[in-house]
Amino acid sequence: MNSEGRPTAPSQTTGISPARTFTANRALQQEEGLLFEIGRHDVTGVDLEEPAAFVPRLGGLERAGAIGLPGLSEPEAMRHYVRLSQKNYGIDSGLFPLGSCTMKHNPRLNEKMARLPGFADIHPLQPQSTVPGALALMEMLSHWLIEMTGMNAVALSPKAGAHGELCGMMAIKAALAARGEHERQVVLVPDSAHGTNPATAALIGFSVRSVPAGADGMVRADAVKAALDGDVAAIMLTNPNTCGLFEAEIVAIAAAVHEAGAYFYCDGANFNAIVGKARPGDLGVDAMHINLHKTFSTPHGGGGPGAGPVVLSAALAPFAPAPYLLRDGRGLRLVEDTARDGDHAPFGRLTAFHGQMGMYVRALSYMLSHGANGMKQASEDAVLNANYIRAGLSDLLTQPFGDQPCMHEVLFDDAWLKGTGLTTLDIAKALIDEGYHPMTIYFPLVAHGAMLIEPTESESKLSLDLFIATMRDLALAVRAGEKERFLSAPRLSPRRRLDETRAARQPVLRWKPRAPLPRDTD
């Protein structure tokens, strides 16, 4: 602490603004233009032979002129992409506090496994007979997903969370059609839900009925019962919810939904908080997607595409889409046919290929290397870390639903900024200057000026202490009236604050040659 009682970082700057430089570089923070700005049309880093004579097959639509792509020498190309990579913030750079996104450490063991030739080199059009190991891995992954969720079946093919939502809701629609209950066209969605929930329901023809949350941020069974009638097909509920709270009445909610003849879809985006602690199937859930790229490693973009398998209850298992895994007298195989086959009545085919093998490998590697106890501890540590941040900031920041324990993420609002002339966005921009990616802001919508922070289990106490000290320093600067520090932020990033209103109303969607940008005068 300094003489003012404010936390100090391990090393503080002198407060002197960075000097203006001729190159716009700031020591190792080097300026880098677009390829179109720095490349030339007369050079290239590779030598390509002139193509042999051929007959075009584009029906006269082939390009008549030069393609116009910029060229760079090999060293220039390397420098360009290395410099761009230095402007990225990722989980390997520091704490990534995005709420509801689970940006956790990506174990390198999982990457090594995903790069094994037998998994990395297979092609979706290969005959099944040539990939028995891949099918065996998918079967093992399916087994553990079913075991951890207490469900009866799993559809592996969805590519991400929203795609998984679509899969689960299409299975519900198919189950209702099989019962002849086409009149059920309403889906209940809590006010605190992810935006993809109502969007998914509307996409496949359902109408959406909102369910309000209580004063404590949780959905009450009585509110659900009041919204239920013969038109309701399902409820889409996130648990833990987007306020970072476990829905305490989830069992009663599930019972009411089932009694009304509807189904319970659970948004599994926050499964990282309860793995090994609570099984959704035991709580009455009929369908839930699981973000493999969140819960079982590989943060967003950390290794390519995501994956959103959907676990299904016994009532919905027959309607899982093709292709699906089946082990019978013919061995283990992928069933591609969408026609009814015994107990299976697939609602159709959700995607062209089963896909996402790299994600399957990473997720199973995570599961096997952690074991049951390790995954349970990860959930406990995620919750502990979030509550540690809550306790460290609750005297300066305000919480919309009171200072109650949270799950894997802690939600603050902007009530503590009232009368300061500052907004949640200003706090987020100032956090960039401190070397952090901002937390999730303005979501969930049920909290005004929301700041949603999820540290995950990956962060050490030292890492959390520094983040808490940084946030406390910002909060105390707000109290001290240091308004300009926030309104001018970020000052130290490669680019300054965007005029977001102008960018939305006058977007520039295509690069055009223009005069050089003025140098940053900081």
Q: What is the pLDDT of residues 160-214, one digit of tens each?
A: 889 999 999 999 999 999 999 999 999 999 998 988 999 999 999 999 999 999 9
Written out in words, the top-level CATH class of the domain with range 109-365 is alpha beta
Q: What is the mean pLDDT of residues 75-81?
A: 91
**pLDDT tens for residues 370-401?**
999 999 999 999 999 999 999 999 999 999 99
What is the location of CATH 3.90.1150.10 in the chain?
A: 372-505
How far is residue 183's CA from residue 231's CA, in Å, rounded to a whole number?
6
What is the location of CATH 3.40.640.10 in the chain?
A: 109-365
Least confident span in 56-65, 267-276, 432-441: 56-65
Cβ pair 356, 325 in contact under 8 A: no
- CA-based torsion, 386, 388, 390, 396: positive or negative: negative
Q: Bridge partners of 62?
A: none
pLDDT given for residue 280 in this prediction: 97
How far is residue 311's CA from residue 283's CA, in Å, rounded to a whole number?
14
Residue 51 has pLDDT above 70, yes or no: yes
- CA-based torsion, 368, 370, 374, 375: positive or negative: negative
pLDDT given for residue 412 in this prediction: 98
Give the burial string for 350-378 (b: 16+ CB within 10 Å, else e): beeebbbbbbbbbbbbbbeebeeeebbbb
Q: At what angle do helices 357-393 and 461-479 cross, to 10 degrees?
A: 50
Computed over its alpha carbons, how large is the radius of gyration of the chain? Answer: 26
Cβ pair 463, 109 in contact under 8 A: no
What pLDDT band is residue 12 in, cutting at 50, 70 and 90?
Answer: very low
- The better pLDDT of the pair 321, 7 is held by 321
Average pLDDT, the chain: 90
pLDDT given for residue 233 in this prediction: 98
Angular region, 139: left φ>0, alpha ψ -120 to 50, beta rest: alpha
Q: Bridge partners of 209?
A: 188
pLDDT given for residue 510 in this prediction: 84
In this prediction the pTM is 0.89
Q: What is the mean pLDDT of residues 227-242?
A: 97
CB-CB neighbours of 77 under 10 Å: 16
Q: Which superfamily, per CATH, for 372-505?
A: Aspartate Aminotransferase, domain 1 (3.90.1150.10)
Could you tell me which of 271, 293, 290 has the C-alpha nearest to residue 106? 293
Q: What is the mean pLDDT of residues 484-507?
A: 91
